[in-house]
Chains A and B, each alone.
Chain A
Amino acid sequence: MVTYGLWSWKAKLDTYLDGEVPEGEMRTFDAHVRSCPSCSGDALTRVQMKRSIQAAGRRYTPSAEFRKRMQQKIASRPRRSFGLGWTFAAAAAAIIVVGTLTSVYLGPRSGKDQVFSEIADLHVATLASSSPVD
């Protein structure tokens, strides 16, 4: 069981919301965010920020310079040789099968979306419990 101080939790919150925390720590993080009003509030703010960046990013028109830079970087990526064509084909087929089965079992929501909606629900519940309606 991993334990952190409050500031350590906060420092890793973006990594957690990006789904990049290691599997073992993910459960610890989930449990902490569920129980800590400060972190769940902070997580909600960051999720809203992520959504805004996604929306703005989709409308973003890169300058010619920026586009050229990105194209060069992507084009200069080392490419795998296809000498092991069948191995790649088998791996791709396995990934498709696993992906299909996973989507069938997990339903249409992605893991990130589920985390985000749970955080939002939790935050609303926390707000409701700390300020009861007369």
Chain B
Amino acid sequence: MQQALEQLPVAYREVLLLCEVEEMSYQEISATLAIPMGTVMSRLSRARKALRGGLQEQFAERVN
């Protein structure tokens, strides 16, 4: 998981960490990073999707 997290683009990683680890609301993240709420939501969604993809790749590598 940590490896997959580190492989995320910085813009996705920062939003994801602020949401999940710091437990900030979308509005707080939006204010902290000075980006619109819609951007917070889309980056979060893409970050989670990329993370799932990264984990699946790691799993496939281990199996093969």
The reply to whether the CB of B43 lies closer than 8 angstroms to some CB of chain A is no
The A-contacting residues of B in range 1-26, CB under 8 angstroms, are 1-2, 5-6, 10, 13-14, 16-17, 19-21, 25-26
The reply to whether the CB of A108 lies closer than 8 angstroms to some CB of chain B is no
Question: What DSSP secondary structure best describes chain A's contact surface?
Answer: helix
Residue of A nearest to B13 (CB): A66
B34 touching A54, Cβ below 8 Å? no
| Cα distance, A112 to B48, chains bound together (Å) | 18
| Cα distance, A131 to B31, chains bound together (Å) | 48
4 more contacts with CB within 8 A, not counting A14-B45, A58-B21, A66-B13, are: A18-B26, A19-B25, A52-B1, A53-B5
